[in-house]
Amino acid sequence: MNKKWTSQMLAKVIDHTLLKATATEDQIKALCAEAKEFGFKAVCINPYWVPLCARELADSDVLVATVVGFPLGANDSSIKAEEARLAVAQGADEIDMVINIGKAKGGDWATVQDDITAVVHASKPAIVKAIIETCYLTQEEKISACRAAISAGATFVKTSTGFGTGGATVEDISLMKKTIGEGAYVKASGGIKTYEDAVSMLEAGASRIGASAGVAIIREAETLENK
């Protein structure tokens, strides 16, 4: 048990996530109830569910995060911007957007940055987390993607959608944090299922964890505390 990361402290950095296409209204309501019960930082859901989550969480400190250009990042920037604008108008506090991965792979970093900038401007006053989908990028591309995101005004860089070929790794978190420095933050997401997974990401430099296994992680932490 890492005494720095108690169950209560850990809950405060977890985005309790449900992004499955099959998610029902009852499941989204249950997600919100769990977020309030365990004290999670936010729920992260698909845009359709933003109004429902805003209502369900209105009497709590839990934030509403939603995704934009998800999961491929291949929408036109104007569509991403409008998607973000609507989500914020409906009650979203945070926007997790997917960068233009194809343009990143092609080395067109100006377009990548402009794409993120459009969403940052449309999302105000909500913050933006730029999902760079690390599983598809080389080391140099990860560095360039992080730099583009920060230059565009994103508050966080985020590892993964959870729909790619891989999720967060300690090595990627360390690289991303080293690249962005102290002026911005890293969100680790994708494949984080245990207390050890979560703590390793936080110790490597992440400030937020995205996980669908948030309840299991906190219950594991509670069990360790009681030993």
Catalytic residue list: 96, 158, 187
Q: List, as own/partner pairs, every contact residues 80-85 make where C-beta atoms lie below 8 angstroms and the sequence separation is at least 24, other chains included.
A: 80/115, 80/118, 80/119, 80/122, 81/118, 81/119, 81/121, 81/122, 82/122, 83/47, 84/119, 84/122, 84/123, 84/126, 84/128, 85/122, 85/123
Strands (E), 63-207: 63-68, 94-98, 127-131, 156-158, 185-189
Whether residue 38 contacts residue 211, with contact meaning beta carbons closer than 8 Å, is answered with no
Rg (CA), the chain: 16
DSSP assignment letter at 136:
G
